[in-house]
């Protein structure tokens, strides 16, 4: 045979072999193997269910299903995902999603098998029930190369140069912001939400332009430094700039890793450009003054936001454990009298202290110093040197300090960091892994090896995510000489949450049908929540109640009264037919019967401090001492009128003069007061803002008098009767009841402007249904008070309600005595 013949023979043989292999692959693709195994396991499970079934109807249904499973149709499962625009325009175009060709059981509530790709989706009721795969597919959330079916690696996009590899596990939450508004907390997007909150707390947008962040008016504001010279001690400022977390480990102020000469230069600039700079000679106060200051510290509610114990985990307000080392006495006095005068955007409220109280409280605060602290009187000759300050000005600009702080002379400075708006779509080649020549080793290889990669291009998404986490963990490791990003000393959970957010900041725009349109209610709740968080309203007030989810599928709402090792004593806030118990009853629930629980939010710590105080000092029972804690705001929207609440938020008044802690003045803007009052109404399903109160209309009372002559007069006799006697417990304007303040109740003079009539009526009928455990008794029962006001309990409650909405002024001048603190 000639050489040409040999070549022809070999080529033909190879062609036949390749063709045969191709035909074999096409006849037996890998996806078909998965489908065969899935249907086989599904059939086995269905056979067991069929055998165990006793219902003819159920057996018929299972029989039909079993018939299909034993002779299934093997086919490609394909969904067309609509695209918004062309790739070149930042869109994704129409694309095909074939993921469910292999993941056949993904949309089942229960899994056929726990092995992949046969299991159902984790948290099915959260993710797939709200995002049906027949519309959303899998790739919108998980990315990947959804049309590929040759093998899992290609289908998941975990191949070289593919720009959007699969998002696995929690990283899939990064896709939530493609469709959902980032200011609304999502069930199922918990890690993303942590990242969003952290991004705002750290004020990352102070250095980095990031669309959607930093312009909502609710973000936490860093201290104003235009008067820092009148505010802090020089020795402390130097120590602080050298290492903020060494002084206060919980601070959000990052570590810029300054050299000592840098700190001196920055301090000199801040001092020379500060209003009223002076060096204070520390004063001394006698023990009586300090004790009085401490009592004020506890009584005005400082501990709701701050702590005087080092590192207790609170992050809303600065930790005060070592404030005496930092702040000057005279500045503290001025700050306590009017915080907004120094910092117009501060969330610190006006405590309405008089000058004497402010001085006593400031004296106590100056005693809060670290263990072993000693004053170090020094002369800082460089403080007024303009050349030293000039170098400080250069450093402040270079490190972007004005991105978070208001600094005199730094107005209008731009952001120094790269834009992060689309960092999740940024090409991996634009991420700086540092110079191998300069570093002396390949940092890129070291970082990528942590996730099993040798080459960034083999999994672009994983490489991008890994670089972001490495940057957050040690920002300057790629170039310690030139990089300026400070180190926030984040823990691994914080790094993971922030990285999920950053990966989610992408260029991709989805077609409108996929974008979730939040309801007005959801938007109102989100907006209100942000204001509540800004001012830490949860520090004093409880906004939700405890919820227990039992293994039998039932749900209990109320309050945990006592927790033991194996059980809970739980007070019900609603009647429970299954338990045969009523609202207000306390039941013992074994922990082994509880599948999960949601704890009440807000007010727990400050309430615990107040209760402990009265238990120890006044020998009260814990339940009795609760009357001195800030009011629970669960259900407040059903209770109070929106217009009154708006006015109260703008200018609080004394409602409960017996309370240990009084509501401070936050000086909310009209918008903020509106957002809170609307939030409280909306969460309780109440109408906002319109409220029609017929009880205040002349025609209403006239009609009542026509139907029942002497209507209000009889209602008043009932109100003042011996067995009701509302005035014996309730404050009335500047009149307070006789007896123990622990037994007092809120001001009735404000009822017609403050309370909703429907709520008053429900409350009078049965207070325990609305607030289980309240001291308010149930007065009106069948057959009672017929000699005073004949009628049913509902009619008697309605009469008292109508009286409260139309109270004659002379009713406030008869019983009780003058209050020591009149309503202002």
Query: Above 70 in pLDDT, residue 218?
Result: no
Same-domain check for residues 469 and 385: no
Question: Does 63 fall in a domain?
Answer: no
Token pair listed for 550? 């039992």
Same-domain check for residues 495 and 371: no
What per-residue confidence (pLDDT) applies to 822?
33
Exposure of 522 by Cβ count < 10 A (0-12 exposed, 13-18 middle, 19+ buried)? middle
Query: Above 60 in pLDDT, residue 217?
Result: no
CA 559 distance to own-chain centroid: 21
Stronger pLDDT, 368 or 28, i.e. the higher one = 368
Helix%, strand%, coil% for the chain, nearest 5: 45, 5, 45
Lowest-confidence region among 213-227, 331-345, 596-610: 213-227
Residue range 453-478, pLDDT digits in tens: 888 888 999 999 999 999 999 999 99
What per-residue confidence (pLDDT) applies to 819?
40
- Give the DSSP per-residue string, 694-725: GGGSHHHHHHHHHHSTTHHHHHHHHHHSTTT-
Query: Above 80 in pLDDT, residue 296?
Result: yes
What per-residue confidence (pLDDT) applies to 818?
43
- Give the DSSP per-residue string, 584-647: T-EEEEEGGGEEEEE---S-HHHHHHHHHHHHHHS---HHHHGGGSPPP-TTHHHHB-HHHHHH
What per-residue confidence (pLDDT) applies to 17?
78
What per-residue confidence (pLDDT) applies to 760?
95
Beta bridge partners of 598: 547
Residue range 141-176, pLDDT digits in tens: 999 998 898 899 999 999 988 989 999 999 999 999
Residue range 673-707, pLDDT digits in tens: 999 999 999 999 998 887 888 998 889 999 999 99
Question: Does 435 fall in a domain?
Answer: yes
What per-residue confidence (pLDDT) applies to 651?
92
Lowest-confidence region among 121-125, 334-338, 434-438, 741-745: 434-438
Query: Above 70 in pLDDT, residue 92?
Result: no
Query: Above 60 in pLDDT, residue 426?
Result: yes
Which CATH number belongs to the domain containing residue 793 in this structure? 1.10.760
Stronger pLDDT, 465 or 12, i.e. the higher one = 465
Query: Above 90 in pLDDT, residue 400?
Result: yes
What per-residue confidence (pLDDT) applies to 439?
66
Q: Which of 353, 375, 403 is the last residue of a domain?
A: 403
Query: Above 90 in pLDDT, residue 442?
Result: no
Burial 445-480 (b: 16+ CB within 10 A, else e): eebbeeeebeebebbbbbbbbbbbbbbbbebbbbee
Contacts of 108 (CB under 8 A, 6+ apart): 120, 124
Question: Does 106 fall in a domain?
Answer: no
Q: Of the ranges 212-216, 498-502, 694-698, which is most confident?
A: 498-502
Among 313, 311, 339, smallest CA distance to 327 is for 339
Question: Does 686 fall in a domain?
Answer: no
What is the C-alpha to C-alpha distance for residues 779 and 796, in angstroms, rounded to an integer?
10
Q: How confident is the model at residue 68 (pLDDT cuts 50, 70, 90)?
A: very high
Query: Above 70 in pLDDT, residue 440?
Result: no
Cβ–Cβ under 8 Å, residues 383 and 234? yes
What per-residue confidence (pLDDT) applies to 655?
83
Q: How confident is the model at residue 375 (pLDDT cuts 50, 70, 90)?
A: confident
Same-domain check for residues 555 and 464: no
Cβ–Cβ under 8 Å, residues 447 and 436? no
What per-residue confidence (pLDDT) applies to 815?
47
Lowest-confidence region among 80-89, 282-291, 749-758: 80-89
Question: Does 465 fall in a domain?
Answer: yes
Question: Does 91 fall in a domain?
Answer: no
Q: Which of 473, 504, 535 is the last residue of a domain?
A: 504
Residue range 631-668, pLDDT digits in tens: 899 999 999 999 999 999 999 988 887 777 789 999 99
Using a pLDDT cut of 90, give the percent of the chain over it. Answer: 55
Stronger pLDDT, 68 or 655, i.e. the higher one = 68
Token pair listed for 641? 């009128």
Same-domain check for residues 371 and 449: no
Token pair listed for 538? 């949860």
Average pLDDT rounded to a whole number, residues 385-412: 94
What is the C-alpha to C-alpha distance for residues 257 and 97, in angstroms, rounded to an integer?
49
Q: Which of 628, 647, 665 is the last residue of a domain?
A: 628
Average pLDDT rounded to a whole number, residues 504-508: 91
Cβ–Cβ under 8 Å, residues 668 and 530? no
Lowest-confidence region among 52-56, 352-356, 702-706, 779-783: 52-56
Same-domain check for residues 386 and 304: yes
Average pLDDT rounded to a whole number, residues 591-599: 91
Which CATH number belongs to the domain containing residue 591 in this structure? 2.30.30.100
What per-residue confidence (pLDDT) applies to 1?
63
What is the C-alpha to C-alpha distance for residues 622 and 619, in angstroms, rounded to an integer?
9
Structural domain containing residue 239: 228-403
What per-residue confidence (pLDDT) applies to 727?
87
Same-domain check for residues 476 and 589: no
pLDDT, mean over the chain: 88
Q: Of the ranges 512-516, 636-640, 818-822, which is most confident?
A: 636-640
Beta bridge partners of 576: 581
Contacts of 117 (CB under 8 A, 6+ apart): 34, 38, 102, 103, 104, 105, 106
How many domains, in total, are found in the chain? 4
Stronger pLDDT, 823 or 190, i.e. the higher one = 190
Same-domain check for residues 492 and 573: no
What per-residue confidence (pLDDT) applies to 93?
63
Question: Does 216 fall in a domain?
Answer: no
Same-domain check for residues 429 and 383: no
Query: Above 60 in pLDDT, residue 814?
Result: no
Same-domain check for residues 382 and 233: yes
Cβ–Cβ under 8 Å, residues 639 and 685? no
Token pair listed for 404? 């978070």
Average pLDDT rounded to a whole number, residues 758-766: 94
What is the C-alpha to C-alpha distance for residues 700 and 698, in angstroms, rounded to an integer?
5
Which CATH number belongs to the domain containing residue 322 in this structure? 1.10.760.10
Contacts of 131 (CB under 8 A, 6+ apart): 141
Using a pLDDT cut of 70, give the percent of the chain over it. Answer: 93
Query: Above 80 in pLDDT, residue 714?
Result: yes
Same-domain check for residues 390 and 254: yes
Same-domain check for residues 293 and 331: yes
What per-residue confidence (pLDDT) applies to 310?
77
Phi, psi of 359 (to 5 degrees): -70, -40
What per-residue confidence (pLDDT) applies to 824?
30
Among 652, 60, 576, smallest CA distance to 301 is for 652
Lowest-confidence region among 63-67, 110-114, 321-325, 471-475: 110-114
Under DSSP, is residue 321 helix (H, G, I), strand (E, B) or coil? coil
Query: Above 60 in pLDDT, residue 817?
Result: no
Torsion 234-237-239-241 (CA) sign? negative
Q: How confident is the model at residue 429 (pLDDT cuts 50, 70, 90)?
A: confident
Same-domain check for residues 318 and 465: no
Lowest-confidence region among 100-104, 136-140, 316-320, 526-530: 316-320
What is the C-alpha to C-alpha distance for residues 523 and 512, in angstroms, rounded to an integer?
19
Does a cis peptide bond (omega within 30 degrees of 0) precede residue 689?
yes
Q: How confident is the model at residue 820 (pLDDT cuts 50, 70, 90)?
A: very low
Cβ–Cβ under 8 Å, residues 751 and 807? yes
Query: Above 70 in pLDDT, residue 288?
Result: yes
Cα distances (Å, whole numbers) of residue 223 to 251, 345, 552, 666 = 12, 9, 52, 17
Residue range 93-143, pLDDT digits in tens: 678 899 999 999 999 888 888 888 999 999 998 999 999 999 999 999 999
Cβ–Cβ under 8 Å, residues 317 and 540? no
Query: Above 80 in pLDDT, residue 269?
Result: yes
What per-residue confidence (pLDDT) applies to 821?
39
What per-residue confidence (pLDDT) applies to 659?
78
Token pair listed for 568? 């809970």
């Amino acid at each position: 045979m000639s050489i040409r013949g040999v070549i022809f023979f070999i080529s033909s043989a190879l062609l036949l072999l390749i063709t045969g292999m191709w035909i074999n692959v096409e006849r037996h693709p890998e996806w078909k193997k998965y489908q065969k195994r899935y249907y086989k396991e599904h059939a086995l499970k269905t056979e067991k269910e069929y055998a165990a079934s006793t219902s003819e109807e159920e057996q018929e249904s299972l029989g039909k299903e079993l018939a299909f499973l034993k002779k299934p149709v093997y086919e490609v499962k394909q969904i067309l995902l609509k695209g918004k625009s062309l790739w070149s325009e930042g869109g994704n175009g129409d694309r095909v999603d074939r993921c469910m060709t292999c993941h056949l059981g993904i949309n089942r509530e229960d899994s056929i098998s726990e092995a992949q790709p046969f299991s159902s989706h984790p948290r099915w009721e959260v993710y797939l029930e709200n995002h049906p795969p027949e519309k959303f597919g899998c790739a919108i959330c998980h990315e990947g190369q959804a049309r590929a079916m040759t093998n899992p690696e290609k289908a998941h996009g975990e191949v070289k140069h593919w720009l959007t590899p699969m998002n696995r596990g929690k990283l899939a939450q990064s896709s939530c912001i493609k469709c959902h508004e980032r200011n609304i907390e999502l069930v199922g997007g918990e890690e993303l939400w942590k990242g969003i909150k952290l991004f705002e707390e750290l004020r990352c947008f102070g250095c980095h332009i990031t669309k959607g962040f930093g312009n909502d008016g609710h973000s936490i504001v860093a201290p104003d430094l235009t008067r820092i010279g009148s505010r802090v001690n020089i020795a402390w400022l130097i120590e602080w700039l050298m290492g903020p977390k060494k002084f206060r480990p919980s601070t959000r102020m990052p570590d810029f890793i300054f050299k000592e000469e840098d700190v001196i230069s920055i301090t000199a600039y801040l001092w020379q450009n500060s209003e009223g700079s002076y060096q204070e000679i520390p004063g001394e106060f006698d023990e009586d003054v300090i004790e009085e200051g401490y009592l004020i510290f506890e009584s005005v509610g400082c501990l709701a936001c701050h702590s005087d114990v080092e590192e207790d985990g609170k992050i809303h307000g600065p930790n005060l454990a070592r404030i005496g080392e930092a702040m000057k006495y005279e500045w503290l006095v001025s700050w306590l009298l009017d915080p907004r005068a120094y910092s117009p955007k501060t969330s610190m409220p006006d405590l309405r202290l008089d000058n004497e109280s402010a001085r006593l409280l400031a004296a106590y605060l100056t005693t809060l110093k670290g263990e072993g602290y000693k004053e170090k009187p020094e002369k800082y000759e460089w403080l007024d040197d303009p050349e030293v300050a000039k170098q400080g000005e250069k450093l402040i600009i270079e490190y972007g300090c004005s991105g978070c702080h208001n600094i005199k002379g730094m107005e209008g400075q731009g952001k120094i960091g790269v834009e992060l708006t689309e960092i999740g779509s940024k090409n991996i080649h634009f991420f700086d892994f540092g110079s191998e020549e300069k570093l002396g080793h390949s940092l890129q290889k070291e970082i990528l090896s942590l996730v099993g990669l040798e080459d960034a291009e083999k999994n672009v998404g994983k490489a991008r995510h890994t670089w972001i986490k490495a940057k957050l963990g040690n920002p300057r490791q790629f170039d310690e000489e030139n990089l300026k990003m400070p180190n926030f000393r984040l823990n691994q959970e914080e790094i993971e949450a922030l990285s999920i957010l950053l990966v989610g900041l992408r260029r991709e725009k989805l077609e409108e049908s996929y974008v979730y349109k939040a309801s007005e209610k959801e938007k109102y709740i989100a907006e209100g929540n942000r204001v509540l968080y800004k001012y830490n309203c949860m520090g004093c007030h409880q906004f939700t109640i405890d919820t227990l989810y039992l293994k039998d599928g039932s749900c209990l709402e109320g309050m945990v009264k006592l927790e033991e090792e194996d059980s809970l004593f739980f007070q019900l806030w609603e009647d429970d037919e299954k338990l045969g118990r009523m609202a207000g009853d306390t039941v013992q629930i074994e922990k082994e019967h509880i599948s999960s629980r949601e704890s009440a939010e807000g007010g727990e710590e400050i309430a615990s401090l107040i209760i402990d105080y009265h238990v120890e000092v006044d020998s009260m029972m814990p339940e009795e001492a609760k009357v001195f804690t800030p009011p629970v705001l669960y259900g407040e929207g059903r209770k109070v009128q929106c217009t009154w609440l708006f006015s109260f938020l703008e200018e609080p008044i004394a409602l409960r003069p017996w309370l240990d802690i009084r509501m401070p003045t936050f000086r909310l803007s009209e918008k903020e007061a509106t957002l809170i009052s609307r939030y409280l109404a909306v969460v309780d399903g109440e109408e906002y803002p319109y409220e029609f109160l017929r009880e205040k209309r002349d025609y209403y009372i006239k009609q009542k008098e026509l139907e029942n002559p002497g209507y209000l007069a009889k209602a008043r006799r009932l109100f003042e009767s011996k067995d009701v006697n509302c005035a014996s417990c309730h404050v009335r304007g500047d009149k307070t009841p006789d007896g123990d303040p622990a037994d007092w109740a809120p001001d009735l003079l404000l009822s017609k402007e403050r309370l909703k009539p429907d709520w008053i009526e429900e409350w009078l009928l049965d207070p325990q249904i609305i607030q289980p455990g309240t001291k308010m008794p149930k007065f009106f029962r069948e057959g009672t008070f017929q000699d005073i006001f004949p009628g049913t309990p509902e009619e008697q409650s309605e009469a008292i309600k109508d009286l409260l909405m139309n109270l004659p002024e002379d009713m406030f001048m008869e019983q009780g005595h003058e209050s020591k603190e009149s309503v202002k």
